[in-house]
Amino acid sequence: MTKSRAGSLFFLLFSMIYFYQSFAIRLLPGSHYEAMTARTFPYYLGLFGIFLSLIILVLSYVKKSENDYFDWENLRTFDFRKGLYFVLAMLLYGYTIRTLGFMISTIIFLVIGFMILGERRIKVILLTSVGVSVVFWFLLTQVLGVYIQQGIIFDYILGAQS
């Protein structure tokens, strides 16, 4: 099996699961008739992933290369430790986003991600993490009108009741 076939089959399986799970996203009452819902982006992203992986799979049969075969020896050169650290960072992000809120959790996740990748300049890490988080928050809340909960910790600090 070639690298492109193995990769496209893995991506196809992942995209199919992602597409299937997009239907499990709950919608707010009355939002079934809206043009954009919580399901819209995951739905089309799953479809795009399926489409793209099928194209790569078909093209892997058309274009043949001599050095395209999957090499098990090359697998030893991959840094699986960084991948595992990123999975743990994503789990931490998922568990803290409700408590700390989107902004703080995203900044912490990006700082951890930069450190995993080997960046050591604190100024670059903080400016990029805060900048990306603020811009992404602005786009979601102010441009797209998506409501993002501020976080349980802010409710306790500000004395808001849930």
pLDDT digits (tens, 9 = 90+) for 135-153: 999 988 888 887 887 888 8
For residue 134, the Cα-to-chain-centroid distance in whole angstroms is 17
- Per residue in 62-93, is it b (16+ CB within 10 Å) or e — as a string? eeeeeeeeeeeeeeeeeeeeeeebeeebeeeb
pTM of the model: 0.61
Q: For 2-18, what is each residue's pLDDT tens digit?
A: 777 888 899 999 999 99
User: Is the pLDDT confidence value at 85 over 70?
Assistant: yes
Beta bridge partners of 2: 69
In a 13 Å sphere around the CA of 129, the CA atoms on its Cβ side amount to 21
pLDDT number for residue 149: 79
